[in-house]
Amino acid sequence: MSASKPSPASAPAAEKRVGDNALHPSQKPVHPAEPPPPPRINVFTVTLAAFALAVIASWPAMRGSGRDLDTWGNLSRFLGHFFPPDWSVWRETLRALGETFQIAVLATVFATLLSLPLAALGARTLAPAWLVAPARLLMNAARTVPSLVWALFGVAIVGANPLAGVVALTLYSLGYLGKFFSDAFESVDADVARGLSALGANRAQAFQYGLWPHAKPLIASHVLWMLEYNLRAASIIGYVGAGGLGAQLASYYEYFAWDKVATVLIFILALVTLLDLLGEWVRRRITRSLGVRR
Amino acid sequence: MSRPGGTSGSAAPHLELRGLGLRRGDRWLVRGLDAVIPRGAFVAVVGPSGVGKSSFLSALAGLLAPAEGEIVLRCASGHAHHPAEPALQRRTGVIFQNNLLTPNASVLVNTLAGRLGRHSAWRTLFGFPRADRVAAYRILCDLGLGAQAHRWSCQTSGGEQQRTAIARALLQEPDLYLADEPVSALDAYLTGRVLGLLRQEAREHGRTVLCVLHNAELVERFADLALSFDPADPANWKLREVRR
C-alpha cells in the first residue's frame, strides 16, 4: 500500500469511517438563544447618510433668481408658441431625421467595436492592474467632454458635415460604452472562465467560452441604450454643423419658429419611442431566455 | 507497488503527494499527506462536509497552492510536473461540484469546451472541428443527453447539467479525473452509469480517477482506494485499499 503514515494503530478506525456520513463531534450543531444582531453601520447606511448630507448641501441651488416671477404664466405663454405644430416642414424634417439616424447608427457601431478591447483593458478581472488605471482614465476623459464639444472637434477635423457627427459621437460613446462593458466584464461570474482555464483553455478561449456568453446580454442591452442616446445626441450636434436635425432646429430657434421646433421634436420623440420599444422587445427576449436558469 | 484492485493498466505511480498541507484562511484542512496513487486507480475521497475534500481536488487541479509539501504528477514517460502547469491542466479533467457550465451556451458547446485545450484560440474562434462535435454528441447520447444537445444549459435540469459537466470531462480524455461529487444530482441508474464510465476510463485507459463520494456503498462498489479526511485532526488522513 502506498500510504506511508506513522500511525498504523488507527487503521481499523479509518476503515470504519469511510463513507460514514455521521457528523463529527467537532461539527455538532449548537443552538444559541437568538441570532446575533446584524451590524448597524454598513456600506448601505453610510451611503444613505452621505446622500442625505449631499441633498442638504445642494439645497441653495433651489433659490433661483430671488425675484418674484410669474412662473406659471411664463410657462404657459412659452408652451403656447409650440402649438399647433407647423407640419409644413415634414419633408425636410424627415430627411434630416434620416441623417440623424445614420449618424447615430454608425457612431454606435464604431464605438462598440472600439470600446470592446478598451473595456477588456479596463476590467480588473481581465487586465493587469497597471493597464486598468490608464484605460479607465481614457474612458473617463471621453465621457467628461460633452457631445457638443466633441462635435466641435469633429467639425474642426473633417469639416461641417455628417461625418463630423459620426466622429464626434463615436468618441463620446467610447467613454460610456467602455465603462459599461468594463463593468459588465467585472460583474459577471468569472468562475466558469476560471474553470475552463483549469481544463486547459488559454486566456482568449476562457474569455470567449466562459465569460463572453455571460456578458453578452448586458452588452447588447448597453449597445441598444447607447443607440437610443446617440439618436438624441445626434439631434443636437447639428447646432455646430455636425449634420442631422440640429442645423434645422438651430435655424428655427434663431427665428423663434417654435411651432416648427414642435414638429421636429415630435419626429424625434416618435423615432426614440420606436427605438425604445424595439430595444425593450429585444432585451425582454434576451433576459427571458436567461431567466429560466437552474 | 502493486495496483490495488486493478486488473489492467500500468502500476507506475501517477500522483505523488509529499508532505502535502492545505489551508483555508487560518484553518488547516490537511497536513503531512504522503501518498502515491498508481496510474489507473479509482480513488474515492471521503469525509464529512467541510473537511476539505473540494480544496484537496482544487490543489490537484492547480487552483489552490499547497501551504506546505508538494504535489507531483508523473506523465507516462515518468517526467514530474506540478499541477498549475498549463500543459498539465489540459490533461486534467475536472468535474466541478457546481458544474461551472456557461448558462447561455448549448449543452453541446459546454461539452465541447473540454477540447479547448487541444486547439489554438484561432481554431476555436468560430467553432470546433467536426470530429470534436461528433465525439461530443456521441458522449452526450451515451449519457442520455442527445435530445438536449442544442438547448441552453440553463434550460436543462440540475441532473442534466451535472451530466453535461461529466460529458465535458469525458470528452477531454484527460490523464487524471478530478470529480467533485459528480453524482450528487443523479438517480441510482445514472449514478451507476456515470461511475461505471469513470471506472472504465481507469481500467481500460489507465486514467486515474479521484472522486469525492458520500455514499459508502458506492465507494465499496467502484473504488480501488479510499482517502479519508478527519475534521478534528488535519494530520489524521487515511488511505486504504477497498476490499471487495
Could you read off the pLDDT tens digit of each residue along chain B, which spans 244 residues? 333 434 344 456 788 888 999 988 888 888 989 999 998 999 999 988 888 899 999 999 888 889 988 888 887 776 777 777 777 788 889 999 899 999 888 999 999 999 998 999 999 999 899 999 999 999 999 899 989 899 999 889 999 999 999 999 999 999 899 999 999 889 999 999 999 999 999 999 989 999 999 888 999 999 999 999 988 888 888 888 887 6
Nearest CA-CA partner of B210 in B82, B37, B52, B73: B37
Tell me what pLDDT residue A111 has.
95
Establish if A160 touches chain B: CB-CB under 8 angstroms: no
Chain B positions touching A196 (Cβ under 8 A) are 100, 113, 116
Tell me what pLDDT residue B75 has.
75
Pairing of strands B27-38, B13-24: antiparallel
- Tracing cell 461511475 back to the chain, one arrives at B195
Q: What CA–CA distances, in Å, run from A136 to A110, A116, A177, A218?
A: 19, 13, 12, 19
Determine whether the interchain pair A292/B38 forms a contact, defined as Cβ–Cβ distance below 8 Å.
no
Determine whether the interchain pair A2/B38 forms a contact, defined as Cβ–Cβ distance below 8 Å.
yes
Determine whether the interchain pair A214/B121 forms a contact, defined as Cβ–Cβ distance below 8 Å.
no
Determine whether the interchain pair A15/B89 forms a contact, defined as Cβ–Cβ distance below 8 Å.
no
Nearest CA-CA distance, residue B29 and chain A, Å: 14
Chain A positions touching B236 (Cβ under 8 A) are 7, 10
What sign results for the dihedral spanned by CA atoms B137, B90, B93, B210? positive
- Tracing cell 494503530 back to the chain, one arrives at A9
Determine whether the interchain pair A209/B1 forms a contact, defined as Cβ–Cβ distance below 8 Å.
no
Distance CA B124, CA B218 (A): 38
pLDDT digits (tens, 9 = 90+) for B170-183: 999 998 999 999 99
Pairs of residues, one from chain A and one from chain B, whose beta carbons lie less than 8 Å apart: 161
**Partners of B179 in the beta sheet?**
B95, B211
Tell me what pLDDT residue A89 has.
84
What sign results for the dihedral spanned by CA atoms A260, A261, A262, A264? positive
For chain A positions 210-229, those within 8 Å of chain B (CB to CB) are 210, 213-214, 216-217
Distance CA B42, CA B223 (A): 5
Tell me what pLDDT residue A4 has.
43
Tell me what pLDDT residue A29 has.
62
Stretches where chain A sits below pLDDT 70 are 1-32, 287-294
Beta carbons of B72 and B15 less than 8 angstroms apart = yes
Tell me what pLDDT residue A13 has.
44
Q: What CA–CA distances, in Å, run from B222 to A76, A222, B191, B193, B202?
A: 84, 51, 11, 11, 11
Q: What ipTM score was computed for the predicted complex, to two decimals?
A: 0.83
Tell me what pLDDT residue A116 has.
92
Q: Which amino acid is at B9?
A: G
Chain A positions touching B50 (Cβ under 8 A) are 27
For chain B positions 195-214, those within 8 Å of chain A (CB to CB) are 213-214
Distance CA B62, CA A234 (A): 52
Distance CA A82, CA A256 (A): 10
Nearest CA-CA partner of A144 in A107, A179, A184: A179
State which residue of chain B sits closest to A14, comparing Cα positions.
B238
Determine whether the interchain pair B236/A204 forms a contact, defined as Cβ–Cβ distance below 8 Å.
no
Determine whether the interchain pair B154/A217 forms a contact, defined as Cβ–Cβ distance below 8 Å.
no
DSSP secondary structure code for residue A211 in this structure: I
| Polymer length in residues for chain A | 294
For chain A positions 16-45, those within 8 Å of chain B (CB to CB) are 17-27
| Cis? peptide before A84, omega within 30° of 0 | yes
State which residue of chain A sits closest to B110, comparing Cα positions.
A209
Beta carbons of A259 and A252 less than 8 angstroms apart = no
**Against a cut of 0.80, is the pTM above it?**
no
| Polymer length in residues for chain B | 244
Distance CA A290, CA A41 (A): 35
Distance CA B169, CA B163 (A): 10
Nearest CA-CA distance, residue A101 and chain B, Å: 32
Determine whether the interchain pair A10/B236 forms a contact, defined as Cβ–Cβ distance below 8 Å.
yes
pLDDT digits (tens, 9 = 90+) for A244-271: 788 888 888 888 888 888 998 898 888 8
Determine whether the interchain pair B92/A199 forms a contact, defined as Cβ–Cβ distance below 8 Å.
yes
Tell me what pLDDT residue A106 has.
95
Nearest CA-CA distance, residue A266 and chain B, Å: 39
Determine whether the interchain pair A194/B103 forms a contact, defined as Cβ–Cβ distance below 8 Å.
no
